[in-house]
Amino acid sequence: MLYLKVIVGVVVNVLAQLCIKKSTIYTFFSIKWVILMGIAISLYGLSFLIYSYILKEAPLNIISPVMAISGMLLIVILSSILFLEPISARQVLGLLLGAVSIFLLLVK
């Protein structure tokens, strides 16, 4: 159940970041920008609540790096798919190292 909470927390955080990125195509303080930023702020708030709830059940020295690295992995992959941002060889290496670090943190 803890893993599901972590996944939801990471996904909510990533969605907030994607909303912020999407908002950059609109003029500051236009209706679409305000809506996307409002959604992003709400998602960040929800992400914070989920994260604090997770910390009641799991150690900070495991959960914090796992969630941060998982978010990084998703952002790099999704930004390349949704926003056509290029992924360099260095980023691919970083993704692989990130996946290995999550594995090492979670395997007992």
Domain encompassing residue 8: 2-106
pLDDT higher than threshold 90 for residue 34: yes
d(CA 66, CA 71): 8
How many domains is the chain partitioned into structurally?
1
The answer to which of 21-25, 75-79, 104-108 has the lowest mean pLDDT is 104-108
DSSP state of 3: H
| Contact (CB, 8 A) for 37 and 28 | no
pLDDT higher than threshold 90 for residue 60: yes
- 3-state class of 30 per DSSP? coil
| Contact (CB, 8 A) for 89 and 25 | no
